[in-house]
């Protein structure tokens, strides 16, 4: 059931979004144009303190005109590893610098239409080093007890897919231990 790509051309291209039209052959032999959104990869940081709280940001997203809690996140820049980007974004958006970091989970949020990859890292031992340098990111920061996350999801206080994947992985990590150790 593998699809074959015969060609690709640009419909729209910016630093943020690349819209492409692909000439694809479906498994049944039919050929068609298929639109794909090519996006930079995303790095996400779930900073957890010794009291089992996660650092989250209260944000307004103008595209959907919604307010919700999110983990610090941002695009992986050229020449940067996802782990480096996750640490950089945590510090820029919150003023907290991570101690140890490890990959928590990997996700492809919409593999049928975009090639974006989401890399979520857990940071332990974070320490406050400065005020956030990104002034347009959030209204406030809070350390949220992991025990409250399930209810926040149910109340739609957490709706970003990258944040949902990250906090649910944290909850699983808390129950079973780090991947491969449960």
Q: Could you report the per-residue pLDDT of 19-77, keeping only the tens digit for each?
A: 999 999 999 999 999 999 999 999 999 999 999 999 999 998 888 898 999 999 999 99
Q: Could you report the per-residue pLDDT of 125-156, keeping only the tens digit for each?
A: 999 998 888 777 777 899 999 999 999 999 99
| Mean pLDDT computed over 161-169 | 95
The dihedral over CA atoms of 124, 130, 132, 133, expressed in degrees to the nearest 10, equals -120
DSSP result, 113-146:
TB---EEEEEEES-EE-S--S-TTS-SEEEEEEG
Helix intervals (H) in the chain: 82-94, 149-154, 161-176
- Using a cut of 0.85, tell me whether the model's pTM lies above it: yes
């Amino acid at each position: 059931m593998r699809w074959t790509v015969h060609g690709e051309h640009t419909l729209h291209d910016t630093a943020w979004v690349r819209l492409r039209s692909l000439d694809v052959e479906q498994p049944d032999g039919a050929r068609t144009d298929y639109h794909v959104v090519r996006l930079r990869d995303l790095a996400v940081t779930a900073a957890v303190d010794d009291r089992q709280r996660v650092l989250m940001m209260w944000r307004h997203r103008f595209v959907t005109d919604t307010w919700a809690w999110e983990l610090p996140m941002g695009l992986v820049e050229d020449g940067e590893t996802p782990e480096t980007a996750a640490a950089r974004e945590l510090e820029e958006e919150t003023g907290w610098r991570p101690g140890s970091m490890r990959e928590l989970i990997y996700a492809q949020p919409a593999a049928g239409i975009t090639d974006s990859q989401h890399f979520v890292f857990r940071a332990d031992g974070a320490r406050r080093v400065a005020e956030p340098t990104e002034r347009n990111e959030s209204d406030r920061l809070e350390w949220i007890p992991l025990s409250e996350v399930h209810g926040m999801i149910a109340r739609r206080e957490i709706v970003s897919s990258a944040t949902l994947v990250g906090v649910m992985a944290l909850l699983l990590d808390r129950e079973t231990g780090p991947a491969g150790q449960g």
